[in-house]
């Protein structure tokens, strides 16, 4: 059964603005990325979502397709973004079955909580490989299709794009590395790399008509990340430390996605769009649920959350 529209996008967008366009999204079965894709599908696009879990990815694709009658959404599971050949095959299948790749969302990511002295080299490498190398592989696999789309959709800003918009990529990042975040060294390093990559893509591929931007979500309610990486009893306290006074919603990330992919985002390139209610400006003020620096000095292991350090890492 289709979700209520306002759960995944605002009412300000005109239906059909992405008619006949195709979205390719890694991490597409996740809470945030699925909302991004669902909003695009609602507005006319078809989509291909990529994930590691076959059942979860295929079921999410079917669910997203309910956003618009006649929508085509492919779910390709068993794809590890760290393997370039797997992503290349997925991109080729997407383009062959749906006709093109006009928009890309690089959203696959890994995370858990651990201080640096409990963080193994393998754990560090795993997160960097998923976030940074995975984003790079996503770009490489889809770039030929994005260039083709961009060539059809160029605009001088004085008239609407002749074939709608296309040739655009969004990297899903974070704000952890702006001020530094305890127990998130691995993710902070990885997301800083993702941000740098997005800027390089903008500089190198911009002359070909491609735009490359970053969306950096803050804490988003009812997502896997918040559920795994925070204690339920501390979330109300954390929300009070956000200038907007609450956690965000997936709808607000989806709205940012529509903006960057739509005609209104034509001249936005090489930018980071932070959607966090101002949270990163206050994240050093002691709102963390593991008291700084006492917890780090204690040598304790993170407990009480699903995303704590795994002993095998």
* 20: exposed, middle or buried (Cβ count in 10 Å: 0-12, 13-18, 19+): middle
Strand segments, DSSP code E, in 112-194 are 168-172
Question: Are 149 and 167 within 8 A, CB to CB?
Answer: yes
Beta bridge partners, 216, equal: 274
Compute the half-sphere exposure of residue 258: CA atoms within 13 Å on the CB side of its CA: 26
Element (H, E) at 60: helix 54-64
Residues whose CB falls within 8 Å of the CB of residue 172, separated by 6 or more in sequence, listed in order: 27, 32, 33, 105, 106, 107, 109, 214, 215, 217
Instruction: Give the separation between CA 10 and CA 132, rounded to whole angstroms.
Output: 31
Task: Choose, from 34, 100, 135, 173, the residue flagged as catalytic.
Answer: 173
Q: Look at residues 102, 270, 276, 284 and name the one whose alpha carbon lies nearest to residue 195.
A: 270
Query: Is 158 a catalytic site residue?
Result: no
Beta bridge partners of 113: 308
User: How far, in Å, are 19, 36, 84, 140, 217 from residue 262 at the CA level?
Assistant: 11, 13, 29, 23, 19
Which one from 21, 135, 149, 191 is the annotated catalytic residue? 191
Using alpha carbons, list the distances in angstroms from residue 261 to 102, 163, 310.
9, 13, 38
- Per-residue HEC secondary structure of 181-247 comes to CCCCHHHHHHHHHHHHHHHHHHHHHHHHCCEEEEEEECCECCCHHHHHHCCHHHHHHHHHCCCCCCC
Q: Which residue's entry shows tokens 């068993």?
A: 78
Task: Please indicate whether residue 173 is annotated as part of the active site.
Answer: yes
Catalytic residues, by residue number, are 173, 191
């Amino acid at each position: 059964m289709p979700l209520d529209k306002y759960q995944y996008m605002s009412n300000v967008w005109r239906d059909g603005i992405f008619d006949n366009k195709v979205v390719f999204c890694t991490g597409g079965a996740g809470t945030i990325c699925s909302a991004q894709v669902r909003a695009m599908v609602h507005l006319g696009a078809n989509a291909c979502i990529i994930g590691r879990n076959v059942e979860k990815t295929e079921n999410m694709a079917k669910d997203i397709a309910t956003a618009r009658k006649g929508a085509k959404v492919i779910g390709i599971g068993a794809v590890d973004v760290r393997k370039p050949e797997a992503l290349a095959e997925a991109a080729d299948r997407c383009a062959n079955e749906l006709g093109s790749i006009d928009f890309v969302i690089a959203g696959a990511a890994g995370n858990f909580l651990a201080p640096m002295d409990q963080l193994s080299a393998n754990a560090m490498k795993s997160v960097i490989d998923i976030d940074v190398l995975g984003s790079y592989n996503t770009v490489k696999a889809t770039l030929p299709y994005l260039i083709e789309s961009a060539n059809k959709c160029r605009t001088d800003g004085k008239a609407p794009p002749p074939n709608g918009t296309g040739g655009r990529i969004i990297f899903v990042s974070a704000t952890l590395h702006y001020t530094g975040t305890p127990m998130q060294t691995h993710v902070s390093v990885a997301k800083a790399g993702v941000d740098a990559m997005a800027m390089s893509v903008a500089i190198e591929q911009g002359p070909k008509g491609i735009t490359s931007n970053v969306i950096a979500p803050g804490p988003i309610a009812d997502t896997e990340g918040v559920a795994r990486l925070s204690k339920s009893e501390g979330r109300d306290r954390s929300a009070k430390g956000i200038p907007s006074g609450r956690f965000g919603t997936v709808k607000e990330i989806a709205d940012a996605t529509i903006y960057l992919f739509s005609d209104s985002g034509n001249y936005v390139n090489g930018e980071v769009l932070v959607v966090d209610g101002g949270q990163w400006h206050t994240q050093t003020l002691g709102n963390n649920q593991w008291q700084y620096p006492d917890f780090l000095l204690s040598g304790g292991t993170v407990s009480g959350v699903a995303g704590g350090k795994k002993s095998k890492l």
